[in-house]
Amino acid sequence: MVMDPLLPFDYRRLKADLRDSLFGQHIASDVVLKAVSSFMTDSNPNKPLVLSFHGTTGTGKNHVAKIIARNIYKEGEKCKHVHTYISDYHFPDKRISHIYSAQLKQLIIQAVYWFPRSMFIFDEMDKMHPQLIDFIKPFLDYNAHVDGVSFNKAIFIFLSNAVGNVITEVALDFWRSGKERKEIRMNSKELETKISEKYILYITSGFSHSSLIDYHLIDHYVPFLPLELKHVYQCVIVEMMHMNFMPNYDLAGEVARDMPYYPEKERAFAVKGCPAPCLQGLWSNKYLSIACLVLSICLVQLLSLSFGVLPVGVGLGLFQ
């Protein structure tokens, strides 16, 4: 019996997941919730869902792509119908973009032929060769049929750091004028328009003209705001729980404060956003290093006791 890889779509589950696991991204949360819900509950969409995520590093772009995946597929991002491509990794040699394009085209068609509700995540979209971007274009259009395969049920998510600075400028203006972060809205699509315009400029200045953007094939440009200390703090708590530490709120505060912020004086936003799981910064924190050291020593002690070997600590005169 073939198991259905899809979860029954549940608006409230996605809403709760975004509320509980995404910090400081009220715009992304709203846009994603609305876009994904209406797409997933439409039995006959006239176009694939195409989302373009923008923001500086560590603000949650990949994180949200994973949240979407785990609300659509039983196996989440690990589902075989979720295809992730990273520009520098999958298409490193710009000279052979035509070969990548042909391969990519075949892969996408095959995937959607076998499973129309497939998801494609393109990471580092800003580093992708325009030729490759143009190859993706026919899949994104209204009632797109390529080689007899309909793409109307597929989901494309593009991730990019490009124009992160535009978003930062807007957020910094709000921050400096003492306005609430939540007041930053996609007001009359103002911010969205700003992002798309700057993105076009970015793409067209760096590369040859790419038609992906001209044709308005992207349904939503989603801004990821730079994160503040309180959001980094929340991330650190979550990270501690993932690492099976009892959350230590003082320590989390210390770790969050130890991270670099900008502008230098105001320390409004975290330079690296949230720390990526475990390795990206937490271990460099002195307190966590000590915690890790103590933990490792205890582990060695435990192992030595279970195997009847002399505890290392005794030999070192640490445990008497």
Contacting positions for Mg ion (CB under 5 A): 61-62
| 187/192 Cα distance (integer angstroms) | 9
Using CB under 6 A as the binding rule, whether residue 161 contacts ligand ATP is answered as: yes
| 108/118 Cα distance (integer angstroms) | 9
> Interacting stretch for ligand ATP, rule CB under 6 A, among 21-29, 191-199, 291-299, 304-312?
21-29
The minimum distance between CB 44 and ligand ATP, in angstroms, equals 32
Choice between 277 and 315, CB closer to ligand ATP: 277
Contact residues for 28 (Cβ-Cβ < 8 A; gap 6+): 22, 53, 60, 64, 222, 223, 224, 225
The minimum distance between CB 106 and ligand ATP, in angstroms, equals 27
Q: Are 301 and 319 in contact, with CB atoms under 8 Å apart?
A: yes
Choice between 263 and 277, CB closer to ligand ATP: 277
> Interacting stretch for ligand ATP, rule CB under 6 A, among 17-25, 128-136, 253-261, 309-317?
17-25
> Interacting stretch for ligand ATP, rule CB under 6 A, among 36-44, 132-140, 212-220, 273-281?
273-281
Using CB under 6 A as the binding rule, whether residue 54 contacts ligand ATP is answered as: no
Using CB under 6 A as the binding rule, whether residue 165 contacts ligand ATP is answered as: no
Tokens matching residue 304? 């030595």
> Count of H helices and E strands in the chain?
13, 9
| Orientation angle between helical segments 11-21 and 26-40, nearest 10 degrees | 160
φ/ψ region of 301 (left if φ > 0, alpha if ψ in -120 to 50, else beta) reads alpha
> Interacting stretch for ligand ATP, rule CB under 6 A, among 59-67, 75-83, 128-136, 167-175?
59-67
| 47/76 Cα distance (integer angstroms) | 23
* Closest-CA residue to 90 (of 54, 122, 61): 122
Choice between 53 and 139, CB closer to ligand ATP: 53
Tokens matching residue 120? 């494609």
Chosen from ligand ATP, Mg ion, none, partner binding at 273 (C-beta under 5 to 8 Å by type): ligand ATP
The minimum distance between CB 285 and ligand ATP, in angstroms, equals 15
Choice between 62 and 204, CB closer to Mg ion: 62
- Residue reference for tokens 């195409």: 50
The minimum distance between CB 55 and Mg ion, in angstroms, equals 9
Choice between 200 and 271, CB closer to ligand ATP: 271
* Closest-CA residue to 281 (of 298, 259, 248): 259
Q: Identify the sign of the CA torsion 167, 168, 171, 176.
A: negative
Binding to ligand ATP (CB under 6 A): which residues in 287-306? Answer: none
Choice between 123 and 153, CB closer to ligand ATP: 123
- Residue reference for tokens 């670099």: 260
Using CB under 6 A as the binding rule, whether residue 22 contacts ligand ATP is answered as: yes
Q: What is the binding site for ligand ATP (CB under 6 A)?
A: 21-25, 55, 57-63, 159, 161, 224, 227, 235, 273-274, 276-277
